[in-house]
Structure 1
Amino acid sequence: MGLISNRVDKKNLKPGDHIYSWRAAYIYAHHGIYVGDDKVIHFTRRGQEVGTGTVLDVLVTSSVPARAQVPCSTCNPPEEGHHGVISSCLNCFLAGGVLYCFEYAVPPALFLAKARGGTCTLAASDPDDIVVHRAKHLLNNGFGCYNVFKNNCEDFAIYCKTGLLVLDQSTMGQSGQAVSFVGGPIAAVLSTPLTLITTNAYGMAATAFGVYCASRYAADIGMRRDVAKVSVEDLTTRLAAGALQITEPNLPALLPHAR
């Protein structure tokens, strides 16, 4: 892994790794937690992998390999009404794609060099045994309602790795991939006044890209101040009670290590 690619060989995987595989000509990536014994725990919409939640999914649906739609004999299909967190063998998770490993605690320079989100974060990972515990607990209890921009497969994997959740569920989740999807148009709008002082297309592009990088950096889970450490047991209790959103008055009692 490094600046150019996070590609990793299967033999180098260890339990607790956050892995992903690109889908549909790199339009989006599917994320999960490798827990050992050739198994990956990942979050889907009621057991079915979904794409971007946009019109691009027309392309996604037509390009997903057939093997992704027909689980192998070792992967039990989820029951009807399943909560969405499932366990698959590594091959079914990859669906014919290439295996990559998400990086944690990367230096700011490396984070910005990887201009597309969904591959790394500035946040540090917790120990592998805690990561696996969270993933297995959520496999049995769920991770709430799937939402492409606020609660997706990358959000699930990042939570398993860090224990961090966004306090206000009305805002963007932890996913760097989702930030990239919305960050481009936002950067273009925000940079419009600045581009008026430029005289060529290169200057306008550089300005927009700079705004995009700054917004992506500020939105990373390792930099945000609207996140808190939440135990997986407390998370599932709140999900069961329909009270996932964490409000400021509860922070001192709930999260002594809130950032």
Structure 2
Amino acid sequence: MGVLSNKIDRDQLKPGDHIYTWRNAYLYTHHGIYVGEGKVIHFTRAAGREIGTGTVLDRFIFSSSPSHSAENPCTSCDDPSGRDGGVMSSCLDCFLSGGDLYRFEYGVNPAFFLAKARGGTCTLASSDPSEDVLHRAFYLLKKKNGFGSYSLFKNNCEDFAIYCKTGLLVNSSTSLGRSGQASSGFSFAGVASGIGVAAGSSARYLPIMGFGAFSGLGAAFGVGIYSFQRLACDIGFRSDVSKVPVEELWDYMYKNKKK
């Protein structure tokens, strides 16, 4: 794997791998933990929906259809009908839903992290041994709602997989979660504001600099903000995190929610 792609073949999979697949023409990724024997444990918002906000935005952000229809359900997967979401087990085919297979990378250096311009593919944080990863995933599967309520920006499928791999949780209930996708979206807003700031501060130099240099300055400033904010939000870089045993996860999340 490298800077351009984390795509792998199925025969490269190992139990405890954090895997993902792109959905809806590369609009977002769905994440899970491969546990062996063709099974994936993952976290969803609600029955048949892998992502969402629970608001009108869901008309524009929607999940792919499952590989099997309701009339012909997969016998290898948990039945999501009537469920409000949570941690569930699916076969690899249903998890991928026709998409390609990618493996999330751990323990990358900052230069490599920033070279991956789109979030949700790697982290500076190191992975725990596979036996610890599998223990967390199976424990949360048994608890069903042990990972709490789904939140697009604070507690999504990528957050679940990263927790299983690292045991790390963000302390503050007001900040973004561990998700690289969410932090990229947040940072992209910084790009727009950064370009605006640069444009405003350098507008008086436009007659001297020329339009090309002027627009280039704003773009460079915005990209700098995007890169810094992505790095600052990464679970392996930020300092507001704690290692939480999975058996204590529910109490920790509940107490943090009350802050």
* 1:90-112 CA-partner distances (Å, limit 9, x unpaired): 00000110100000011111100
* Residue in 1 that maps onto 2:207: none
CA deviation after TM superposition for structure 1 residue 188, in Å: 2.0
Q: In the TM superposition, what is the alpha-carbon distance from 1:170 to its structure 2 partner?
A: 1.8
Q: How does 1:18-37 map to 2 (within 5 A)?
A: 18-37=18-37
User: Where does the alignment leave 5 or more consecutive residues of structure 1 unmatched?
Assistant: 248-259
Correspondence for 2:210: none
The letter for the 1-side match of 2:101 is L
User: Which 4+ runs in 1 deviate beyond 2 A?
Assistant: 46-61, 63-66, 68-71, 78-83, 190-203, 236-239, 242-247
Q: Where does the alignment leave 5 or more consecutive residues of structure 2 unmatched?
A: 204-212
Q: Are 2:171 and 1:167 equivalent residues in the alignment?
A: yes
Percent of matched pairs sharing the same residue: 52
Per-residue CA deviation, residues 192-219 of structure 1 (Å, 9 max, x unaligned), is 3233327432222121111100110111
Query: Is 1:188 aligned to residue 192 of structure 2?
Result: yes
Letter in 2 for 1:177: Q
Would you say the 8 A contact 1:19–1:32 is kept in 2? yes
Shift of 1:186: 2.4
Partner of 1:48: 48
Change (3 A) 1:65 1:235: closer
For residues 127-165 of structure 1, the C-alpha deviation after alignment (integer angstroms, 9 at most, x for no partner) is: 011001000001111210000000000000000000000
**Could you tell me how far 1:56 is from its partner in structure 2?**
6.8
Retained in 1: the 8 A contact 2:78–2:88? no
1:2 corresponds in structure 2 to 2
Name which of structure 1's ranges 136-145 and 43-52 shifts more when overlaid on structure 2.
43-52
Distance 1:166 1:66, change over 3 A: closer
Kept in 2: contact 1:105–1:124 (CA 8 A): yes
Question: 2:243 is matched with which residue?
Answer: 229
Cα distance in 2 for partners of 1:246, 1:3 equals: 40
**Residue 112 (structure 1) aligned with residue 114 (structure 2):** yes
TM norm structure 1: 0.86
Match of 1:207 among 205, 217, 221: 221
After superposition, the Cα gap between the structure-2 partners of 1:205 and 1:94, relative to the gap in structure 1 and judged at 3 Å, is same
SS of residue in 2 equivalent to 1:67: coil
Q: Which residue of 2 aligns with 1:12?
A: 12
| Residues 34 and 245 of structure 1, relative CA distance in 2, 3 Å threshold | same
CA distance in structure 2 between the aligned counterparts of 1:228 and 1:33, rounded to whole angstroms = 21
- Larger Rg over CA atoms: 2
CA contact (8 A) 2:172 2:256 kept: no
Distance (Å, rounded) in 1 between the aligned partners of 2:61 and 2:154:
20
Partner of residue 80, structure 1 = 82
Is this contact kept in 2: 1:167–1:246, CA < 8 A?
no
Contact 1:48 / 1:84 at 8 angstroms: preserved in 2? no
Q: Could you tell me which amino acid in structure 2 is paired with residue 197 of structure 1? A: S
State how far apart, in whole Å, the 2-side matches of 1:48 and 1:57 are: 13
Q: 1:64 to 1:111 in 2, by over 3 A?
A: same
| Code of the aligned partner of 1:2 | G
Contact 2:153-2:176 within 8 A present in 1 as well? yes
Inter-CA distance 208–52: structure 2 relative to 1 (3 Å threshold): farther
Q: Could you tell me which residue of structure 2 aligns to residue 178 of structure 1? A: 182
Deviation at 1:65, TM superposition (A): 4.6
TM-score by length of 2: 0.86
